[in-house]
Structure 1
Amino acid sequence: MDLRVLQTFVVAATTENFHQAAETLFIAQPTVSQHIRLLEKELGIELFVRIGKRVRLTPAGKRFFPHAKSLLDQWHSGMEDLLAWRQGYQDRLQLAVSPTIARTSLLHLIHRYTKLYPDVDISIKIVESIEIGPLVQSGQADLGLTRMIPGEFQLACYLLHDDPIVFAVPHNGGDMEAPLPDWEQELTTKRLLTHNHPGYWDELLLQLRQRGLALRTMVVSQTDITKRFIEEGLGVSFLPRSAISRDLFENRFIELPTPGLELPKVASYLVLPKVSASETVQRFVDILAALYPPLPLVND
């Protein structure tokens, strides 16, 4: 079976549009149709039905799709492994990392690991924390660095470090000796940018509303965008200190104290399968254990 034909089928099945599949694959649309006809002839069954300008998988096409995708994934994995071997890599380490950790502590970890073990081919998936548990459990990642405890029972989760939440407002550029603004006034006169980090927003908003504060909120789901909005004067937010430490140092933000308000903490976690780790994974865990002793287990 020609892998190019298989690739055309998978893309066409995903897009349900031969024209879009052709654009994705950088081939002519008649070539897409030809590839599908060749595959249907080889399998002896119809894979698509036309509905107007779009196509839909037949029951046989739906049944064949996961097998075709698996074959392509195995081929790509084999090619990547061979390429890594030709480049001098002897082993592979796959990480799934939350954006917040990727922007802060990951750089130091990767520097240290690659210096000690230059023959390991490292791949890093930057995904939201809620996606990390399933990736590690399914074997698509060897370990995860996340900002929330995963719900999967087959995983072990270890605490790396706590990270305090702070109230961040834009720097006004005025007199450095001037008194800090009142935090409650900042909240009620500016828009509060929320839900940029998993785990603490619902409880924090409840606390704020119980104080009788009239809040205008805006959900901004990414920390980087939240920071940009704060810098441009579009709002204020409660963020992990590690996420804004450089911004505070460079006077782009001000961290306001919030007397009377108990701010939560968030944490970073290491996620591993409960089965024995490979030597390559264990070396990475050893580096983490040296940086963040004693790595307590936080789930059973």
Structure 2
Amino acid sequence: MDLKLLHTFVTAAELENFHQTAERLYLAQPTVTAHIRQLEQILGFHLFDRVGKRVRLTAAGRRFLPHAQRVLAAYDQAVNDMTAWWQGYDTRLQLVTSPLVATSVLPGLLKRFTQEHPRVEVMITTEVSPAVGPVIASGAAHVGLARSPSVHPDTSSTVLYTDPVLLVASPANAAGAHWVDLLGRHLLLTGNHPMYWDALLMAVAERQPHLRTLAVDRVDITKRLLEEGLGVSFLPQSSVVRELAEGRLVTVPVDMELPLSATYLILPHPRELPEAARLFVDLLLQSFPDGVGPGLPQ
């Protein structure tokens, strides 16, 4: 089937006007009409009804439209892939990462990787940590980074690094207050990490029974609220390195043991990795040789 027939059909279905379709596609209007008639002859169905100066899809046209759109999308994807290859991207790395990792350690790692391997095309998607494992298992991505291990049987999870959890607040909120008093005066923003909150809340409540909590499920939103002075929170050190360095947030000393936060490297098992993915995994292991996350600036 000629792709130009599908292109004309999809455009006409969107605009519901053959004249406007001809203008958009730089065709004569009789050519648009001819394309539609030719497609109808191939399919054996009437695709449009005329309603005044406009056209409307028939039931057959509505049923055929998503098929035509998928064919055109697949063609576009194939052309884009070959164009990227022709431009020098002879290999591809597909990453899936949690939003926290994507906004903390990943930018620096990608900068180094792309400088060392300029011919690798990198594609990144973000998912909540529990969804990273299924994406890796499906083959939609090569390497996963998450704040919790994968439970999918077709994946393996390894702790890439750990970093301490800190009590952080805006400078104004933290000024001159003991941490227990601070938690009695301000909201505690919770739920922004998938692993440590339940046990931590129980331990904190033993010291400060008058906790008022606000659940926020994303670290980036938590940090923004903290900067505005809305509460305090316990966050992984790697997630607040920049904010602490710039003075937008400060740490509050805590005289109790706080948990460690782990970042996990999630890989397919037993499927082998392509070369680009192996190179990126090597960089990850080199960057965290002792399993310790980014430190605070001195």
* Cα distance change, pair 64–158 in 1 and its aligned pair in 2 (3 A): farther
Cα deviations by residue, 1:142-179 (Å, 9 ceiling, x for unpaired): 111111101111112222100211111110299xxx7x
* Cα distance change, pair 230–77 in 1 and its aligned pair in 2 (3 A): same
Cα deviations by residue, 1:178-217 (Å, 9 ceiling, x for unpaired): 7x41111111111111212222222222333344522222
* C-alpha distance in 1 between matches for 2:183 and 2:173: 19
**Partner of 2:295 in structure 1?**
none
**Partner of 2:56 in structure 1?**
none
Instruction: Give the unaligned 5+ runs of structure 2.
Output: 19-31, 48-58, 292-298
CA RMSD of aligned residues (A): 3.7
Question: Shift of the alpha carbon at 1:128?
Answer: 2.0
**Partner of 2:183 in structure 1?**
187
Aligned to 2:152, the other structure's residue is in SS state coil
Cα deviations by residue, 1:246-287 (Å, 9 ceiling, x for unpaired): 222222222112213x32222111111111111121111111
**Partner of 1:143 in structure 2?**
143
* Cα distance change, pair 3–167 in 1 and its aligned pair in 2 (3 A): farther
1:143–1:281 contact (8 Å) kept in structure 2: yes
Aligned to 1:206, the other structure's residue is in SS state helix
**Partner of 2:282 in structure 1?**
286
Letter matched to residue 95 of structure 1: L
**Partner of 1:77 in structure 2?**
77
| Structure-to-structure mapping, 1:150-165, within 5 angstroms | 150-165=150-165
Question: Shift of the alpha carbon at 1:127?
Answer: 2.5
Letter matched to residue 186 of structure 1: L
Letter matched to residue 213 of structure 1: P
Of 200, 214, 220, which aligns to 2:196? 200
* Cα distance change, pair 220–137 in 1 and its aligned pair in 2 (3 A): same
Aligned to 2:95, the other structure's residue is in SS state strand
Larger radius of gyration: 2
- TM-score when scaled to structure 2? 0.74
* C-alpha distance in 2 between matches for 1:164 and 1:157: 20
**Partner of 1:269 in structure 2?**
264
Question: Shift of the alpha carbon at 1:73?
Answer: 5.4
Cα deviations by residue, 1:103-151 (Å, 9 ceiling, x for unpaired): 2221221122112211111111122222211221111111111111011
- TM-score when scaled to structure 1? 0.74
1:195–1:219 contact (8 Å) kept in structure 2: yes
**Partner of 2:21 in structure 1?**
none
The alignment-based identity, stated in percent, is 37
Cα deviations by residue, 1:22-72 (Å, 9 ceiling, x for unpaired): 5xxxxx3557xx9xx99898656899xxxxxxxxxx9xx89996x777645
| Structure-to-structure mapping, 1:112-261, within 5 angstroms | 112-172=112-172, 180-211=176-207, 213-260=209-256
